[in-house]
Structure 1
Amino acid sequence: MKLKLVFPKVLLICVLIVSACSEPEKQTTATANVQVLPYQFLMPELDRQRTVRLYLPPSYHQSDKSYPVIYMHDAQNLFDDKTASSGEWEVDESLNQLAEKQGFEVIVVGIDNDADFRMNELSPWENKRFGEAQGQQYMAFIVEVVKPYIDTNFRTQADRLHTAIMGSSMGGLMSHYAIHAYPQVFSKAGIFSPSYWYSQDVFSYSRFKKAPLDARLYVMYGDKEGDGMIADTDKMLRQLRQQGHPRQNALFKRVPNGEHNEQLWRTEFSEAIQWLFQQQPAF
């Protein structure tokens, strides 16, 4: 009788082990014009190293043109389903299609996140739950280490009018900060599902240090991301308008049925970058 009771449990354990071991490994989905730069970049003020991923336009190796650049956070989720935590943005596929159909080409520089410090690195403001802010050091790393390397080693249009920053969630919060903190570096920000909830300091900072009038802000969120997301983003919209930021340079988009995930950000990516790089009036 004891054997009959023990055997099914042993069999179940064996089945579970075999099932776990037989799960197919994710295959890379990154296109051929995406590369991981061959060495880690040192983050001087944080004493960490970081992987940087690079998308080059289809025509890059067949021309001598220089290209605009978008700097993006959470690079593991941008190009490759194999490295993505919850599906990828398909940035490379989307840009390849835009290049083929509309002739729009841009370089994308993706900075990997660090799972242990992501919340800290992607905010310049402290949060009692998540601890100290490291966003100022993280952005200094992008501006003082990564960007000079990219501009030196690749054919970029390095001026602010051809340089954008983009991210989602905490990356949206950081992109909002970057366009205000580094107006001499960035003139465009893609701010997807921004985590304005993380710190109310984002509102006081944005009042104190206004973005230049020609800065283009594309703020997008889904209406299923929660009441807090809707309220905070509406509050930021009202504040920017009260501060006199031109309506044609600040687009706030609420996506019906949009949820806080890569599917929303993937779907909205192409429209956002086309709007960000439209010709704009001088101020």
Structure 2
Amino acid sequence: MDYTRDFDTAVQTFILTDLPASTPADAEFFLKTGLEGWQNGRPELKFGGRTLHRAYPIGTQLSFKVSRDAPESEEGDAWGQRRPDRCHVVTGEATHELSVQSWMDSPLSERPSTLSAQTSRLEVHSPELEDEFTVLVWQPPQANTAGQRFPVLYLHDGQNVFDQATAFAGRTWQAAEAAQALAAAGLPCILVAVTVRDAHRASDYVPFEIAANGFHSSAAEYQAFLTGTLKPLIDARFPTLPEAQHTAQAGSSFGGVASLYGGLSRPDVWGSIGAFSPSVWVQDFGLLAWSEEHPAPHSRVYLDMGDHEGTFTADAARLVTQTRLLAARLRDCVQDVVLTIGEDHWHTEDAWAARFPGFLRWWLNAMSE
């Protein structure tokens, strides 16, 4: 598809400055972009030697990587594993010098784990979904103090929360670091990270039947697992404050939808909700109407959105507007809503990591007032 026909465009020049020693001498190189469906080997995206010139519409929020002319040959990180996307907003002509660290078809090693000694790993069976979940539980240093109990935050996409070895593109939310800093400041909590069922993410997290989940939702069963199986287990094994006012769930993207759905469905269990970059577009923005139909007068809601989420700057502006609208609708349905717009933030773990400490402080401060 020609994306440049009806738009003002700017030429982007991509230059390969460094290549790994493992690069075959006869290799050909291509650009892969989100705008063009991450397809590999497109003739119009082939480098001539080490240089590619390509026009993109002004306002494109370009995410891209380099690949070779072979399957699974995408550029990797320092370990030869998946690296974060390169990102650039097209505002005019620009030159991008690209240093390739590794190729994913020649991995160097596994990424080292960054789980701390304060983190416990549980394998929990869900009778609601007839499946197993890996659950990571981080406790503050104060947990060693007899008799002290703590508020608890449950996090979706738990593989991305603590450990770079399992996080998408090796980028975590740095949640343990944020919680450690607040614990040192007198605001301790327990974090419970629930690892996703990869093949069922859209089904478990989205309560609507949409194409992404094959028009089948298991969100009610997933939330029943959190409320009926996991939370009682956590409360029995760890020094929690089990009441709703001390319990929250949070997540990003589809996980943000899951948090709003779960928290507003059971305000007797979840007193606070963290919705990072929620996918407000699902079911033709059905989340807005659904939220209004599920008031939770004692609940507190944190919403945010980056201002660079979407394929074009106009898309990003619409997402910000829709998130503002959701916040306005929720203000009539819950006790408190706080809205944050992340400046220069994309739809990435790095952006959510940057906003997470502010959310955590907001949540914990409310319980210390």
TM superposition score category, shorter chain reference: 0.7 to 0.9
User: Secondary structure of the equivalent of 1:180?
Assistant: helix
- How far apart are the structure 1 equivalents of 2:282 and 2:328? 19
The 5-angstrom pairing of residues 12-161 of structure 1 reads 20-21=105-106, 23-37=108-122, 40-86=123-169, 87-100=171-184, 102-131=185-214, 132-161=216-245
SS at match of 2:191: strand
Q: Which whole-Å deviations, capped at 9, do the CAs of 1:191-229 have from their partners, x for residues lacking one?
A: 1000111223322221111122x3111101111112442
2:277 counterpart letter in structure 1: S
From 227, 246, 256, give the equivalent of 2:343: 256
Displacement of 1:268 in angstroms is 1.0
Higher strand share: 2
Tell me which residue corresponds to 1:5: none
What SS class does the counterpart of residue 192 from structure 2 fall into? Answer: strand
1:162-191 Cα offsets, whole Å, 9 max, x none, are 001111111111111122101100111111
In the alignment, structure 1 residue 232 sits paired with structure 2 residue 322:
yes
> What is the CA-CA distance between 1:129 and the residue it aligns to?
4.1
- SS where residue 116 of structure 1 aligns? helix
Give the aligned residue type for 1:274: R
Whole-Å separation in 1 of the counterparts to 2:325 and 2:241: 34
Aligned residue pairs: how many? 265
For the Cα contact (< 8 Å) 1:217–1:276, is it kept in 2? no
- Report the Cα distance in structure 2 between the residues aligned to 1:60 and 1:122, rounded to whole angstroms: 31
Alignment pair present for 1:266 and 2:353: yes
What secondary structure, in the 3-state scheme, does the structure 1 residue paired with 2:275 have? strand
Structure having the higher helix fraction is 1
State the AA in 2 paired with 1:50: F
Distance between the aligned counterparts of 2:294 and 2:333, measured in 1? 13
Match of 1:276 in 2: 363
TM-score by length of 1: 0.86
Identity %: 29
Tell me the amino acid that sits aligned with residue 157 of structure 1: L
- Residue 182 of structure 1 is matched in structure 2 by 266
RMSD: 2.5
The alpha-carbon distance between structure 1 residues 22 and 222, as it changes in their structure 2 partners (threshold 3 A), is: closer
Q: Tell me how far 1:266 sits from its aligned partner.
A: 0.6
Measured in 2, the distance between the counterparts of 1:144 and 1:245 equals: 24
Compare relative contact order (CA 8 Å, sep 6+) and give the higher one, 1 or 2.
Answer: 1
**Aligned partners of 1:209 and 1:62: how far apart in 2?**
39
2:313 corresponds in structure 1 to: none
**What does residue 209 of structure 1 align with?**
294
What is aligned with 2:281? 197
TM-score by length of 2: 0.67
Q: Which runs of 5+ in 2 are unaligned?
A: 1-24, 27-69, 74-101, 310-315
